[in-house]
Structure 1
Amino acid sequence: MERLQKVLAAAGVASRRKCEEIIAAGRVSVNGQIVTAQGFKVGPVDQVSLDGKPVEKAETHVYYLLNKPAGLITTVTDTHGRPTVMDLVPKQPRVYPVGRLDLDTEGLLLLTNDGELTNSLLHPSREVEKVYRAVAAGQVTDADLARLAAGVELEDGLTAPAAVKLTERTPRRTVLEITIHEGRKRQVKRMFLAVGHKVSHLERIRFAFLTLSGLERGKYRNLTSQEIQGLKNLPKKRGLPRDK
């Protein structure tokens, strides 16, 4: 909720002080009702009018960090009526996922209505790091780990080098953290299949510098102003040419 004079000023009607005078003069209505009280607050869905004409409110950007559970589709709507990540965040203002996580993949997902930031974070030149905790069937060998780190050949080309950290290895399963900066569809799972192992559980635990610290599965939180600015200030990176 924001003060009416602030909303009018942000929409370019006039200065905030002048907007206070306009409100006092009875020229502004909210949802069809004249408002003259200073400090009256309006929300995203309230219709503000000046002299009977709707005021195009400046878009208020929101930024959510969601701990996505398995079983939800990363999309705004689903034609089959299946549950989506949008069921876990406020309906207004409308936001959109930054990238996607598969149906059975859990973990960190950003949602925002800031299209400029979304495009920036997804642009290949940013090379935004995404860290996943993967549980793979069987014993992933050191040779397999080296292949994952160096890049593996997939049907859509060779993957970029990845950082791989082994955390557990038994004859039945291997647990590791893998850091990538590409955004190919089902990339991590396909990388493991390329070295002969199926991923049974996958969770994104970091996006750039953001983590899930203290956030329960199925819950979301607003990004802080420092986090938002940090994402906007992420530098562009240039990939080094591969040896041929």
Structure 2
Amino acid sequence: MRPPRKPSGQRRGPASGKTTGFGVRPGPAPTETPSRPARSGPQRGPPASRFIDSDDRGAREIRALRAARPARDARPAGEDRPTRDQDRRPPRPPRGNVAPAGRSTRAGKPGPAAPEAPRIKRAPPLERVTEVAPQRIAKALARAGVASRRDIERMIAEGRIEIDGTKLTSPALNITSLRGVTVDGQPVAGIAPARLYRFHKPAGFLTAARDPAGRPTIMDILPPDLPRVVPVGRLDMNTEGLLLLTTDGELKRALELPSSSIPRVYRVRAFGEVTQAALESLADGATIDGIHYGPVLADIERKTGHNLWLIVTIREGKNREVRRVLEHIGLQVNRLIRVAYGPIGLDDLPPRGADEIPQSDVQALMAMLKPLKPQKK
């Protein structure tokens, strides 16, 4: 039989109280159990048998392994312990500073052997020549890399140059040998073979050794490891690009002579409009303000707005030749970059960067210019 229902007026209260017809009689307040202080370190729980089911195979296996584990006193200690098989894992890379082979680290232990670096073949030193053709002493010392001709003449006036212990008083002296010549008491090593460098000149620097007005020159930005060099020709202050430098004044003179007809190639940005007929007319040369300029080859590379990019090739290299010739046909040059000097190109040389041209190329260039040198009578 089903039990009788309780009256609707009765309400059921909490488990601790009793049910009445009008509400719940509150029972005794539950007492709070004091919390235990937290233990430091790892805490162990109750035995696993209370919470782990007996059918849990993993728990049984763990208990079996722990039971089979030997006691601490029965374990081998020190060198008796079995070592790991080192062949199974690759060797670890060294950490920190590793001392090279044959040396010791800070801890006194020798470092691992360093891999042998490939040997780089260095070029043999350039041989210097003391016997020279009859020439002025200032010219011979300039070719030997002592200083420029003007500086050597100034040094002679100051009594800093001697020949066999006798001070030289005049630069008007021809010599055929540099033996016995001293500068500030130091013997001159001799004349080295001509060396040629290429330099990426940025805009805003003069192509000169010094400027009386105090403007910046290329000598202020040349790499410090270069020997004493002189520029081949000149680039205007606002012209940038390839500039050749050499240690030999004879090679400098041969390369910059207009009679050598060495092509100089420029990239030009100019403002204005020009016709193809006007550009082709420059191939026959032009006479501007009484100065005759030789053939100029000019081609349009591209157009950008009101500006043109041109490729211009000249062979004389007169003062401001590219600017004046283009102004003659109605163009205003706003950027000028020399990209090649004969067979030598600017390529990807960064601004203010310099590197040496191989000696084989220098000898081939000198052989090509040899018939063009003026003959002395």
Show the counterpart of 2:39: none
Displacement of 1:10 in angstroms is: 4.6
Displacement of 1:171 in angstroms is: 5.3
Distance in 1 (alpha carbons) for counterparts of 2:317 and 2:261: 9
Show the counterpart of 2:187: 55
Displacement of 1:173 in angstroms is: 1.3
Displacement of 1:150 in angstroms is: 2.4
1:115 pairs, out of 249, 252, 263, with 249
- Whether contact under 8 Å (2:232, 2:243) holds in the other structure is yes
Q: Which has the higher contact order (CA 8 A, sep 6+)?
A: 1
Q: Which amino acid aligns with 2:212?
A: T
Superimposed CA distance per residue, residues 43-97 of structure 1 (whole angstroms, 9 cap, x where no aligned partner): xxxxxx99xx742211334322001000010001111222111123237632111
Between 199-208 and 212-221, report the one with greater CA deviation: 212-221
Show the counterpart of 1:195: 329
Q: Which amino acid aligns with 1:87?
A: D
Distance in 2 (alpha carbons) for counterparts of 1:170 and 1:69: 23
Q: Does 1:150 align with 2:296?
A: no
Show the counterpart of 1:223: 357
- Whether contact under 8 Å (1:147, 1:195) holds in the other structure is no
Distance in 1 (alpha carbons) for counterparts of 2:210 and 2:243: 16
Aligned residues with identical type, % of pairs: 35
Q: Assess, with a 3 A threshold, how the Cα gap between structure 1 residues 10 and 110 changes in structure 2: closer, same or farther.
A: same
- Whether contact under 8 Å (1:164, 1:176) holds in the other structure is yes
Higher percent of residues as strand: 1
2:220 pairs, out of 87, 106, 109, with 87
- Whether contact under 8 Å (1:130, 1:180) holds in the other structure is yes
- Structure 1: runs of 5+ lacking an equivalent: 13-48, 238-244
TM-score (norm 1): 0.72
Superimposed CA distance per residue, residues 4-61 of structure 1 (whole angstroms, 9 cap, x where no aligned partner): 9x98x8547xxxxxxxxxxxxxxxxxxxxxxxxxxxxxxxxxxxx99xx742211334
Q: Assess, with a 3 A threshold, how the Cα gap between structure 1 residues 82 and 127 changes in structure 2: closer, same or farther.
A: same
Displacement of 1:3 in angstroms is: 10
Show the counterpart of 2:208: 75
- Structure 2: runs of 5+ lacking an equivalent: 1-122, 132-180, 373-377
Distance in 1 (alpha carbons) for counterparts of 2:225 and 2:233: 19
Show the counterpart of 1:176: 310
> In angstroms, what is the RMSD of aligned CA positions?
2.9
Show the counterpart of 1:21: none
Distance in 1 (alpha carbons) for counterparts of 2:321 and 2:263: 14
- Whether contact under 8 Å (2:285, 2:296) holds in the other structure is yes
Show the counterpart of 2:275: 141
- Whether contact under 8 Å (2:273, 2:330) holds in the other structure is no
Q: Assess, with a 3 A threshold, how the Cα gap between structure 1 residues 176 and 227 changes in structure 2: closer, same or farther.
A: same
Q: Secondary structure at the match of 1:233?
A: helix
Distance in 2 (alpha carbons) for counterparts of 1:233 and 1:142: 38
